[in-house]
Amino acid sequence: MEPTPLLTPYKMGKFNLAHRVVLALVTRCRSFENMAQPHNTLYYQQRAAPGVLHIAEASAVSETAAGYPRVPGLWSDEQVEAWKPVVDAVHAKGALFFCQLWHTGRNHSPATGTAGCLIFGSFSSPVVSHCSIVMKFDEAPPRLETEDIPQMVMDFRVAARNAIRAGFDGVEIHAANGLLVNQFWWFLDIGRVDSTKPLRLDGSSSSSLEDRCRHLAADVVAAVVDEVGAHRVGVRLSPFAGGDADSTDAAEAHALQLVRSIDKLGVLYCHVVEPKMRADGDGKPAIPHRLSPFRQAFRGTFIVKGGYDREEGDRAVSQGYANLVSYGRLFLANPDLPERFRNKAELNKYDRSTFYTADPVVGYTDYPFLGQETQVA
* 299-308 tens-digit pLDDT: 999 999 999 9
37 three-state secondary structure: coil
Which of 159, 155, 173, 161 lies closest to 55, judged by CA? 173
Which of 133, 176, 128 lies closest to 29, judged by CA? 133
The pLDDT of residue 131: 47
97 vs 43: CA distance, rounded Å: 13
Residues 6 or more apart from 300 whose CB is under 8 A from it?
13, 263, 266, 267, 268, 269, 270
Residue 29: count other Cβ atoms within 10 Å of its Cβ: 18
Worst-scoring range by mean pLDDT, 115-119, 143-147, 315-319, 336-340? 115-119
Which of 27, 93, 82 lies closest to 57, judged by CA? 27
DSSP state of 99: E
Q: Binning pLDDT at 50, 70 and 90, where does residue 96 land?
A: very high
Worst-scoring range by mean pLDDT, 20-29, 210-219, 308-317? 210-219
The pLDDT of residue 137: 45
DSSP state of 200: S
Q: Binning pLDDT at 50, 70 and 90, where does residue 199 land?
A: very low
- Tell me the average pLDDT of the chain: 82
pLDDT tens track for 104-124: 876 665 555 444 444 433 344
Which pTM does this prediction carry?
0.86
Over residues 6-29, the mean pLDDT reads 96
Residue 314: count other Cβ atoms within 10 Å of its Cβ: 19
% of the chain beyond a pLDDT of 70: 74
Worst-scoring range by mean pLDDT, 21-25, 153-157, 192-196? 192-196
57 vs 59: CA distance, rounded Å: 6
The pLDDT of residue 251: 73
How open is the CA angle 98-83-220, to the nearest 5 degrees?
A: 50
Kind and range of the H or E element at 108?
none
Q: Binning pLDDT at 50, 70 and 90, where does residue 141 land?
A: low
Q: Binning pLDDT at 50, 70 and 90, where does residue 193 land?
A: very low
Are 120 and 126 in contact by the 8 Å Cβ rule? The answer is no
The pLDDT of residue 188: 47
Q: What is the dihedral of CA 210, 214, 220, 226, to 10 degrees?
A: 100
How open is the CA angle 203-207-213, to the nearest 5 degrees?
A: 85
Report the interhelical angle of 216-228 vs 180-189 (nearest 10°). Answer: 150
Over residues 232-260, the mean pLDDT reads 78
Q: Does position 26 have pLDDT exceeding 50, yes or no?
A: yes
Q: Does position 97 have pLDDT exceeding 70, yes or no?
A: yes
Largest CA distance in the chain: 62
Kind and range of the H or E element at 18?
none
Q: Binning pLDDT at 50, 70 and 90, where does residue 218 land?
A: confident
Q: Does position 146 have pLDDT exceeding 50, yes or no?
A: yes
The fold adopted by the segment(s) 5-354 is TIM Barrel (3.20.20)
pLDDT tens track for 327-376: 999 999 999 999 999 999 999 999 999 998 899 999 999 999 998 854 43
Q: Binning pLDDT at 50, 70 and 90, where does residue 284 land?
A: confident
Are 55 and 326 in contact by the 8 Å Cβ rule? The answer is yes
How open is the CA angle 250-206-118, to the nearest 5 degrees?
A: 70
C-alpha atoms less than 13 angstroms from C-alpha of 191 in its C-beta half-sphere: 4
Q: Binning pLDDT at 50, 70 and 90, where does residue 23 land?
A: very high
